[in-house]
A = this chain, B = another copy of it.
Amino acid sequence: MGAPSSIEALIEAFKRLPGVGERSASRMAYHLMERDREGAQLLSQALIRAYDSVQHCVKCHSLSEELICSTCQDTSRDSTRLCVVETPADQSAVEKTAAYKGYYFVLMGTLSPLDGIGPKEMGIQSLLDRACDGVVKEVILANNFTAEGEATAFVLTEALKKRGLTVTRLARGVPVGSELEYVDIGTIAHAMVDRRNA
Contact = CB atoms under 8 A, between A and B. Distances in A.
Contacts of A50: 4, 6-7, 9-10, 29, 32-33, 40
Contacts of A95: 1-2
B46 A1 contact: no
Interface in A33-66: 33-34, 36-37, 39-51, 53-54, 63-65
Given A6-B54, A74-B1, A95-B2, A18 B31 contact: yes
A13 B46 contact: yes
Nearest to A30: B89
A12 B45 CA distance: 12
A16 B42 contact: yes
Nearest to A9: B46
Contact size range, A: 35 or more
Contacts of A29: 50
Contact of A42 (B13, B37, B49, B89): B13
Nearest to A89: B30
Nearest to A47: B44
Find the residue from A2, A19, A50 having the highest chain B CB count within 10 A: A50
Given A63-B4, A65-B5, A13 B39 contact: yes
Contact of A13 (B16, B43, B71): B43
A116 B34 CA distance: 18
Contacts of A34: 63, 87-88, 108
A22 to B, nearest CB: 12
Contact of A51 (B1, B17, B44, B181): B44
Contacts of A36: 16
Nearest to A74: B1
A46 B4 contact: no
A39 B54 contact: no
B6 A49 contact: yes
